[in-house]
């Protein structure tokens, strides 16, 4: 039945989700699929007042631009751990809770960060091309850099940052980090800025959230501090990186190499990056496994099911605390 608590609940789905989420939402709610509408603006005018929840992804972009047309929406359930496409503070002022999908993607993103690091240092894609092109017949592949003897700096020490650090521990390397605050109980060296961390590191792994607060956090000053033998790995957001500075640093030999999973204008990658062979470039696949993406999609649906079941959100973002304070079981879904 398309009911929750005995009352029909209308959900706006802005973009496609995986079948597991589609099935859960369809089973419990009346779902309005915005991307299928020829005239989305007119459609929102018609159904907007009846919408009480939103399921969305970063592909839709800024959800807040349509909230004026959804006056009775009370929850935005977003696919992904990053939610910079949502102004969560504005949503809170409107009385709307925002949820994301943390934890379930930590391991796969951390695995990918480690894999990208090794692929970049040992030049695995380049060596593969060496074999496929027949160049091995003319001589061995050149010697490569290594992880041995490097200090790994982790820029960002949230859940995923910690998972990345645990994986690097197994390689016997020194680990350092920078985060907004020093964290008790971590046995890693703390540095009070991104520049200081880069100066102390030979390998910099970027895993901070996106958004205005971290835009171009990794700039030329950070890259210069990393140095000519330094390697950059970005599995965070493209906005965190000053991409023009990175291109210049790589072309001028200010850093040695980079492994990138994210870009400023995805899926458009600058031609100058594509032309460089000291890079490993991935198409934003940090969490892109069947297991993890299904878990993320399920959590999008489960947040909505829990909310409209009167149990509150499962994974609210910090900005939503003010909305939740003082709410009782009886008014959670109003």
Active-site annotation, residues: 237, 266, 284
Q: Which pair of tokens denotes residue 89?
A: 């503070």
Alpha helices per DSSP H over 189-320: 194-199, 220-226, 243-251, 271-274, 290-308
- Cα(first)–Cα(last) distance of the chain, in Å? 20
Residue 220 burial by CB count (10 A; 0-12/13-18/19+): exposed, middle or buried? middle
Estimate the crossing angle of helix 124-132 against helix 106-121, to 10 degrees: 60
Q: Which pair of tokens denotes residue 225?
A: 């501090």
Q: Give the span between the Cα atoms of 283 and 260, in whole angstroms.
A: 8
Helix (H), strand (E), coil (C) string for 179-190: CCCCCCCCCCEE
CA 199 to each of CA 148, 168, 191, 228: distance values in angstroms, whole numbers, following the listed order = 18, 19, 10, 11
User: Do 98 and 56 contact (CB within 8 A), yes or no?
Assistant: no
Residue 130 burial by CB count (10 A; 0-12/13-18/19+): exposed, middle or buried? middle
Q: Give the span between the Cα atoms of 156 and 288, in whole angstroms.
A: 21
User: How big is the chain, counted in residues?
Assistant: 334
Q: Give the span between the Cα atoms of 85 and 261, in whole angstroms.
A: 19
Task: With CA atoms as reference, report the closest residue to 197 among 183, 171, 212, 218.
Answer: 218
């Amino acid at each position: 039945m398309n009911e929750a608590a005995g009352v029909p609940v209308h959900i706006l789905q802005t973009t496609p989700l995986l079948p597991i989420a589609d099935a859960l939402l369809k089973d419990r709610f009346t779902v309005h699929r915005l991307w299928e509408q020829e005239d989305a603006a007119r459609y929102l005018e018609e159904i907007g007042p009846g919408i009480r929840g939103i399921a969305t992804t970063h592909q839709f972009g800024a959800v807040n631009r349509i909230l004026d047309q959804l006056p009775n929406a009370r929850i935005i359930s977003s696919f992904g751990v990053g939610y910079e496409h949502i102004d969560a503070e504005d949503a809170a002022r409107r009385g709307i809770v925002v949820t994301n999908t943390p934890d379930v993607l930590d391991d796969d993103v951390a695995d990918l960060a480690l894999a990208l690091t090794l692929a970049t240092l040992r030049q695995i894609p380049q060596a593969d091309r060496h074999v496929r092109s027949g160049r091995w017949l003319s001589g061995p592949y050149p010697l490569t850099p290594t992880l041995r003897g490097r200090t790994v700096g982790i820029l960002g020490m949230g859940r995923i940052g910690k998972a990345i650090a645990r994986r690097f521990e197994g390689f016997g390397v020194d680990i350092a980090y920078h985060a907004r605050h020093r964290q008790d109980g971590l046995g890693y060296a703390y540095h009070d800025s991104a520049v200081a961390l880069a100066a102390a590191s030979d390998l910099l792994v970027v895993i901070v959230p996106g958004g205005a607060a971290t835009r171009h956090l990794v700039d030329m000053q950070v890259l210069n501090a990393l140095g000519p033998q330094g390697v950059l790995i970005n599995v965070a957001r493209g906005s965190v990186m000053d991409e023009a500075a990175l291109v210049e640093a790589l072309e001028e030999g200010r850093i040695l190499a980079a492994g990138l999973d994210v870009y400023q204008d995805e899926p458009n990658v600058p031609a100058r990056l594509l032309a460089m062979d000291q890079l490993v470039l991935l198409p934003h696949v940090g969490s892109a496994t069947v297991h993890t993406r299904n878990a993320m999609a399920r959590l999008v649906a489960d947040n909505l099911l829990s909310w409209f079941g009167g149990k509150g959100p499962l994974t609210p973002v910090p900005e939503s605390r003010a909305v939740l304070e003082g709410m009782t079981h009886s008014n959670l879904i109003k």
